[in-house]
Amino acid sequence: MSKRPNILFILSDDHAVQAISALNRDGVQLNQTPHLDRLADEGGTFRNSFCNNSICTPSRASILTGKHSLQNGVLTLQDAIAKDQMTFAGLLKNAGYATALVGKWHLNNKPKDEDFDFWEVVPGQGSYYNPDYMTRQGMVRREGYVSDITTDRILAWLENGRDKEKPFLACLQFKAPHRPWMPAPRFYSLFDGHRFPEPETLHDDYSNRCEILKQNRMEIAKHMNWNSDLKVRDAGPNNHRLGNVPETHGEYEYDRMTPEQLAAWNVAYAEREAYVKNNVLTDEEFEDFAYQSYLKDYLSCVAAVDDNVGRALQYLDDRGLAEDTIVVYCADQGFYLGEHRWFDKRWIFEESMRMPLIVRWPGKIEGGTVYEPLVQNIDYAPTFLEACGVEIPGDMQGTSLLRVVEEGTEIHDELYYHYYMHGDHGVPAHDGIRTHRYKLIHFYTEKEFNLIDLERDPQELKSLHKDPAYEDVLSNMMARYEKAREIYHIPEENGPKGRFPQL
Ligand code: SGN
Ligand code: CA
């Protein structure tokens, strides 16, 4: 690439590393994602890519600003990105890029005109069927399936909307595969008759770690709801198994569907509903049903993300843009697909702290490269700026990935993590650090540190903070934790305004 590169930044919502076949070539492949695999074959994958705060709005703000949550002001789902915050999009626009963002935004305030020439975003979480988009001209409802429409709209901008004299930044931001995991009609029967393998920790009892884990409200067979999660409107004799939990908004999408869409949906889900309605399920049968149904819906949503990634790559090929365009695929955080009994995210534990990161960068990254260094979502903004020849502001806390790509070197001694939303889904506020081998977690409302040896215990089932054999490791990790908090300017007092309601 001799001229300034274009960037196609593809961000999905809650797409777990476990649900991309290219990222699990030496392990269990739950599904196939041929287009993401193509991207990985033609580019590089970052095997140790993590977020700093495993929840949507904060992670997105950290991606945009290259800063930890405390520095950009977005600690929770309710916070808005402060007006004075520079984003990589705005900096690229200032430097002469044509910029656009379509899809899920979820930053409480609208995208800024200083950042994007063009934007169309779904309000809040958005809808899977016939979604509304906020546009500069007001709200527009579009018929169809959200992942397809979002892709249509960004491709339309690339084709007809942008200033073709300029290099571009195009952000394609999928709502999928976020809860309530509603697949596109063409994938209703993708996994018919298929059984998904179970993760080894599907029946975790939460022993040997901080007691507070037991208060979580994100267990598949306990805290889902029949209707929007499991797609069963009449659970008959099994109804008592799931109650109402505060994290469910209860809204549902059936009333958005056209009569034809609803009819097709009802046919597709009839067998599932009949099974529940007509059988008294044992504990085991119910747990199995909930897990299998969850994975089927979630992974069917992933299928439409993957084929739309394929459409976007095909567009770049067709227009001769692929050689001049850096393509990045990531999600705003990881997700649990049954590990520790869970759906959702938030915890510093591996499945939610990890983020998929695949980068195709012609001339820079050789196809099929796998990078081992620790990288974090705060690194993306400085990477994009450096790649495009724009100066990185001094207050950005991330480090450009270019050094990893060019020299293969580590750019972080340890990664700092801090989740602030004490209470939602029964997850406490906590922070900690991760190195290649160890993780130190501070459950500060409980005044308890947990220490995990990821090499011996990759599933994070036992804290070693009281193990005398780990005394030195613990004190070393404590010192590094203090150092990380200093580097990132995390003040003495923890948490959002120091208030911690009951979980
Ligand atoms: C919704 C979900 C939660 C989820 C949050 C945050 N409930 O509230 O399960 O944790 O979004 O997700 S739902 O019943 O409304 O789907 S995030 O991706 O925006 O962080
Ligand atoms: Ca998310």
Q: For residues 397 and 71, give the distance between their C-alpha atoms in angstroms, rounded to a whole number.
A: 9
pLDDT tens, position by position, 341-378:
999 999 999 999 999 999 999 999 999 999 999 999 99
Instruction: Estimate to the nearest angstrom the gap between the alpha carbon of 315 and the chain centroid.
Output: 25
- Rounded distance, CA 320 to CA 186, Å? 29
Give the containing element (helix H, strand E) for 299: helix 283-318
Strand ranges (DSSP E) for 271-403? 325-331, 357-360, 369-371, 375-376
**In which band, very low, low, confident or very high, does the pLDDT at 2 lie, cut at 50, 70 and 90?**
low
Give the global pTM.
0.97
CA of 126 to the centre of ligand 1 (A): 11
pLDDT-based confidence at 1, cuts 50/70/90? low
**What's residue 494's pLDDT?**
67
Cβ-based neighbour number of residue 139 at 10 Å: 9
Distance CA 155, CA 282 (A): 49
For ligand 2, the distance from its centroid to the CA atom of residue 467, given in whole angstroms, is 35
Mean pLDDT of the chain: 96
Q: State mean pLDDT over 269-296.
A: 98
Instruction: Please identify, by atom number, the ligand 1 atom nearest to the C-alpha of residue 332.
Output: 18
What stretches of 227-371 adopt beta strand conformation (E)? 325-331, 357-360, 369-371
The pLDDT of 288-303, averaged and rounded, is 98
User: What percent of the chain lies above the pLDDT cut of 70?
Assistant: 97
For ligand 1, the distance from its centroid to the CA atom of residue 179, given in whole angstroms, is 6
Contact 383, 401 (CB under 8 A): yes
Nearest CA to ligand 1 atom 12: 56
Average the pLDDT over 436-440 and give the result.
98
Task: Find the residues whose C-beta lies inside 6 A of ligand 1.
Answer: 13-14, 55-56, 77, 106, 178-180, 247-249, 344, 425
Ligand nearest to the CA of 425: 1
pLDDT in tens, 67-114: 999 999 999 999 998 888 999 999 999 999 999 999 999 998 899 999
Q: How do residues 466-502 score in pLDDT, each as one tens digit?
A: 999 999 999 999 999 999 999 999 887 765 445 566 6
User: Distance between CA atoms of 298 and 183, rounded to whole angstroms?
Assistant: 8
Residue 502 pLDDT: 64
127 CA from centroid of ligand 1 (Å) = 12
pLDDT over 60 at 65, yes or no: yes
With the CA atoms of 379, 382, 385 and 387 taken in that order, what torsion angle do they form, in degrees rounded to the nearest 10? -60
In the structure, ligand 2 is a single-atom ion and the residues with CB under 5 Å from it are 13-14, 56, 332
